Amino acid sequence: MPRLFSYNQFASGSDVVKAYADKHSPVIICDKQAKRDKPFRVKVRIGRNVMHPNAPDHHYEYIQLWNLETLVSEVRLQRSSFGDQPVQIEAEFIFIPKVSLHLTALAYCNQHGLWMSEEVDVQVTD
């Protein structure tokens, strides 16, 4: 089965290993509070601090945002839309929450597989 990689699996590694994990890791950036039935924005950035290549043979292909077992949305990334240099790709997800959220982002690198963010909890109130 495809393994799900995450930064913490590599956090005790060498600086090279940590940079490898850093640049592959999606990071969720959002408020920790949301209003029920109102549009809510979640940004996902690929790379904690390190930029990932965006070359024809090595690039990110998609980002999925999950709320526990439910897929919230998916952004399909076109490589040519992010230049030819390493980059911290950002994608924005807009949706309308009903209940409190436990968000995870999954992102797929065509060379190094499927990477998972840390989970982020969002309280949804009236």
- Smallest separation, CB 10 to a second copy (Å): 15
Question: Which residues partner with 94 through β-bridges?
Answer: 41
Residues β-bridged to residue 55: 58
Q: Which of residues 106-125 bind a second copy (CB under 8 A)?
A: 106, 108, 110, 112-114, 116, 119
Q: Which of 11, 17, 29, 71 binds a second copy (CB under 8 A)?
A: 71
Please name the residues in contact with 1: beta carbons below 8 A apart, sequence gap of 6 or more.
Answer: none
Site string for a second copy, 30-49 (x = CB under 8 A): -------x-x-x--------
Q: Does 13 bind a second copy (CB under 8 A)?
A: no
The phi and psi torsions of 7 (rounded to 5 degrees) equal: -55, -40
Nearest Cα neighbor of 113 from 12, 17, 21 is: 21
What is the three-class DSSP state of 45? strand
Nearer to a second copy, 2 or 32 (CB): 2
For residues 83 and 50, is the Cβ–Cβ distance under 8 A?
no
Residue 76 binds a second copy (CB under 8 A): yes
In the complex, the residues that contact a second copy under the rule CB under 8 A are 1-4, 37, 39, 41, 55-57, 61, 66, 68-83, 87, 90-92, 94-96, 98, 104, 106, 108, 110, 112-114, 116, 119
